[in-house]
Amino acid sequence: MLKLDQMKKITGIRLPKHSKSKSLAALASVLLAVSGCGHSSFIDTTGGGHQIRAVIAGNHSINSQPGRATISSAFGTVTVERSRVQIGGGPWNRIPEAVPVELKISKGKIALTAGSVTITQTIN
């Protein structure tokens, strides 16, 4: 955390003594707002017979059912079934049954690992 003297050097502003806590709170909220712009969610779910762990940037939705899990975000959609996976509207890819699936969806990239299978897709 920045000390008052460090804040004065960075901002060039001299603060009254009674506003130290208000100034520190304002600085902290600005830092949180800036760092929170690209927040990601960490998801644990099951679907299609797989344990699915996902890191998804931005807003998303998850539809988990015993036979299928569909994970959507502004950056793409991934559908996981028992022995196959589909990224976006692309072709289905085979994956081993009942293995954990790790998924990362971020701006410009979707990466999926299921057992020994790794699928990466770049998104415009």
**Number of other CB atoms surrounding residue 48 within 10 Å:** 23
Residue 17 scores a pLDDT above 70:
no
What pLDDT was estimated at residue 26? 52
Complete domains list, the chain, with CATH:
4-35 (no CATH), 40-122 (2.60.200.70)
The reported pTM is 0.69
Question: Quick check: 95 and 115 in contact, CB under 8 A?
Answer: yes
3-state secondary structure of 111: strand
What pLDDT was estimated at residue 19? 57
Q: What's the pLDDT tens digit per position in 25-81?
A: 554 444 444 444 468 999 999 999 999 999 999 999 999 999 999 999 999 999 999
Q: How far apart are CA 41 and CA 34, in angstroms?
A: 17
Token reading at 11: 């901002």
- Distances, alpha carbon 14 to alpha carbons 6, 18, 55, 87, in Å: 11, 12, 42, 54
Q: What's the pLDDT tens digit per position in 87-104?
A: 999 999 999 999 999 999
Of residues 84 and 37, the one with the higher pLDDT is 84
What pLDDT was estimated at residue 36? 44
The residue count for the chain: 124
Q: How far apart are CA 7 and CA 19, in angstroms?
A: 13
